[in-house]
Amino acid sequence: MILHNYDLFENCYRVRLVASCAEVALELINVDAFPGAEEKSPEYLKLNPMGRLPILEDNALVLRNLSAILIYVAEHDIDKRFIPDEAKDRAQMMDWLGFACDDLAVAVQARAVALLDATGDVVELRAQARTLFRILDDHLTRQSLRGANFVAGDAPSLADLALFPAFALSRDFNLDHDEFPALRLWARRIRLLPGFITMPGIPDYH
Amino acid sequence: MTQTVEVLSQWVPIALSNMIETGTSAGVVAKGAEIVVWRDSSGVAHAWEDRCPHRGMKMSFGFVRGDHITCLYHGWEYDQSGTCQYIPAHPEVEVPKSICVARYGVAEAGGLIWAQLPLGSDESSFAGLPAMEGVKSVYIDASYATVLSVLRKQGCADGAVANVMILDRDGATMTIGIQPISNAQCALHITVPKGCAGDVRESILDWSEELRRSIEELEVVT
Ligand code: FES
């Protein structure tokens, strides 16, 4: 499996994090995305006409959609740790995976505007990200009341891994963690998972 | 001529006890003061100025290691008294005792962690509160006055100490710690008696989210 990767892109980190926790080997091809914009070069547009990273290649298979990539990687986990078996649990996981990959795209964009010269209104994007963090904080508070430590049950799922980077990197666009106590505790549990890795902007405490 | 301005010291709830686990830290703001609250390996809570004496990095971005808190920027380590004990760039140097983080008085009571404002107030002992359990901290974009008036309308009564209100709802007596953050923001730290049933706690969560929504709508209109 080949990941066309740029270390500072949050969405590439999401894939590396899932692969590391799921013990799936990834071959990394580092793309000069910033400032080179190599993902928009003619060769890369052949792989992904949207001109975006990450791209996952597995022989003839080419995946460009974030959740499709994350699911594909997680399914190669021999122990199938992060995709629940049971239909209901799996659906709840997918629900939050959608939140992470679709709704929280505003957080990815806010960070890209703040750090990587992308265009957009960072104040508005930050406000939208804050609203979403509140929803997640409210949800995790309810979950812990029911004895569940993670977004889709008492075990960490693919959704948790996909959600973590947006919160962990939010200080890059000046959204602090003060207001989200349940998220802070949950983020700490994610950090303790076997295979957890960081990226620039997410301090390694050890 | 020097003028002394009398500033009344005041205890302000800054977090639910159960949200600051052993070995963790968090940044909070109380009446504009930036505070790091952290819990050392023996379970004792600390509230300090959220500013590293070295270059001013927020201590709340750092991490707790045993009974020390370490600054994220250059790794200076401070002990429970706020005194710097270790500078990684100069491991051989004995650190001057004068390098200290300023501390707030801190107390833990009623399921809440309290800081005594302003910085440097004489630490007076904190009046006791009955043992309670934290349910949720709700952050609301509204002034202290607005939040207070809405709570009063809902039947909240003043608690035994300042910055605390009592509300009977859904068969439980909530004790709510109020943390004024800025002119435009407040936090409510909601606690219930130990043994309060799960479904009651869930209905309190519903209530608190609805409360936040209605107060913030009020602020938008006015
Ligand atoms: S700013 Fe804290 S160690 Fe340098």
Domain B133-221 - what CATH class?
A: alpha beta
DSSP B22-74: TT-EEEEEETTEEEEEEE-TTS-EEEEES--TTT---GGGSEEETTEEE-TTT
Domain identity same for A121 and A173: yes
Looking at A75, A100, A128, the residue that finishes a domain is A75
Given the CA of residue B52, which atom of ligand 1 is nearest to it? 2
Ligand 1: which of B48, B55, B85, B90 to mutate, most ligand atoms within 8 Å of CB? B55
The residue with tokens 């009564």 is: B157
Domain identity same for A98 and A59: no
The residue with tokens 């003619």 is: A42
Question: How many angstroms separate the CA atoms of A10 and A52, rounded?
Answer: 12
Q: What's the mean pLDDT in A87-101?
A: 97
* Domain assignment present for A81: no
Could you tell me the CATH number of the domain that includes residue A17?
3.40.30.10
Q: For chain A, what is the mean pLDDT?
A: 96
Question: How many angstroms separate the CA atoms of A180 and A147, rounded?
Answer: 19
Domain B10-117 has CATH 3.40.190.10: no
In degrees to the nearest 10, what's the CA dihedral of B31, B35, B41, B44?
A: -40
CB contact under 8 A, B205 and A146: no
pLDDT in tens, A143-196: 999 999 999 999 999 999 999 999 999 999 999 999 999 999 999 999 999 999
CB contact under 8 A, B15 and A181: yes
Domain identity same for A182 and A91: yes
The whole-number pLDDT of residue B93 equals 87
Q: For chain B, what is the mean pLDDT?
A: 92
Q: What's the mean pLDDT in B7-20?
A: 89
- Owning domain of residue A165: 87-191
Cis, peptide link before residue B91, omega less than 30° from 0 = no
* Domain assignment present for A199: no
CB contact under 8 A, B137 and A181: yes
Question: How many angstroms separate the CA atoms of B15 and B5, rounded?
Answer: 29
Contact call for residues B98 and B83 (beta carbons, < 8 A): no
Looking at A40, A75, A110, the residue that finishes a domain is A75
pLDDT in tens, B68-109: 999 999 999 999 999 999 999 999 989 999 999 999 999 999
* Domain assignment present for A94: yes
Q: What is the ipTM of this complex?
A: 0.93
Looking at A52, A75, A98, the residue that finishes a domain is A75
Q: What is the DSSP letter of B5?
A: P
Domain identity same for A142 and A178: yes
Report domain extents, chain B.
10-117, 133-221
Q: What's the mean pLDDT in B1-18?
A: 75
Contact call for residues A142 and A152 (beta carbons, < 8 A): no
Q: Which residue in B16, B201, B209 is closest to A145 by CB distance? A: B201
Structural domains of chain A, count: 2
* Domain assignment present for A133: yes
How would you list the strands of the sheet with B172-182, edge to edge? B132-140, B185-193, B172-182, B164-169, B157-158
Q: Which two tokens stand for residue B27?
A: 């940044």
- Interface probe for B, chosen from A141, A143, A174, A183 (most Cβ of B below 10 Å), is A141
Q: What's the mean pLDDT in A73-78?
A: 98
